[in-house]
């Protein structure tokens, strides 16, 4: 009886042990030019509350727009980004005109004063590239 209890206990412990999950993101560092923008008509194309990806903009959201070359480097739609000098993580939700290079635009809602105070600066960003799960292949 004691032996079967020990075996059951060992099997339960083994079944409850899971291998460590690999990290969800690989984090990359990059220096970019950063400016800020607002959801007002004179700063955007057609609808100031809809991004180029089709997301809605509302004041208070931590969103950024990125230049097309940064999209090719992995800063795709919904990529999390940490920006030097700012708190929290921002999400890539918009893209910029193709003439911009190595550039992010930080969404600052309707606060035009804050966007002007931010100005234009070089900043370090850290962004996450989502790791794809490894697929097991069957061998014959």
Where exactly are the structural domains of the chain?
A: 25-130
pLDDT tens digit string along 68-118? 999 999 999 999 999 999 999 999 999 999 999 999 999 999 999 999 999
Give the three-class secondary structure for 55: coil
- Give the span between the Cα atoms of 104 and 95, in whole angstroms: 9
Q: What is the pLDDT of residue 49?
A: 85
Find the largest Cα–Cα distance for the chain: 80
In this structure, whether the domain defined by 25-130 belongs to CATH 2.40.40.10 is answered with yes
* Higher local confidence (pLDDT), 125 or 50: 125
* Cα separations in angstroms, 27 against 3, 15, 24, 81, 114: 49, 32, 10, 9, 28
Upper half-sphere CA count for residue 121 (Cβ side, 13 Å): 14
pTM of structure: 0.77
pLDDT tens column, 3-47: 555 554 454 455 555 555 667 889 999 999 999 999 888 777 678
pLDDT at 119: 96
CB 82 within 8 A of CB 89: yes
Please state whether 12 falls in left (phi above 0), alpha (psi between -120 and 50) or beta.
alpha
pLDDT by residue (tens digit) across 55-70?
A: 998 889 999 999 999 9
Contact 30, 125 (CB under 8 A): yes
């Amino acid at each position: 009886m004691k032996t079967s209890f020990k075996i059951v206990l060992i099997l339960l412990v083994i079944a409850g042990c899971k291998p460590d999950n690999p990290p969800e993101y690989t984090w990359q560092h990059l220096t970019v030019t950063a400016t800020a923008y607002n959801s007002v008509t004179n700063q955007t194309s057609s609808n100031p509350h809809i991004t180029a990806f089709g997301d809605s903009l509302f004041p208070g959201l931590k969103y950024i727009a990125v230049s097309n070359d940064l999209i090719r480097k992995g800063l795709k739609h919904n990529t999390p980004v940490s920006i030097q000098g700012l708190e929290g993580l921002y999400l890539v939700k918009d893209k910029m005109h193709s003439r911009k290079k190595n550039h992010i635009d930080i969404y600052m809602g309707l606060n035009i004063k804050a966007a002007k105070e931010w100005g234009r600066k070089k900043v370090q960003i850290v962004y996450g590239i989502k790791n794809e799960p490894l697929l097991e292949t069957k061998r014959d």
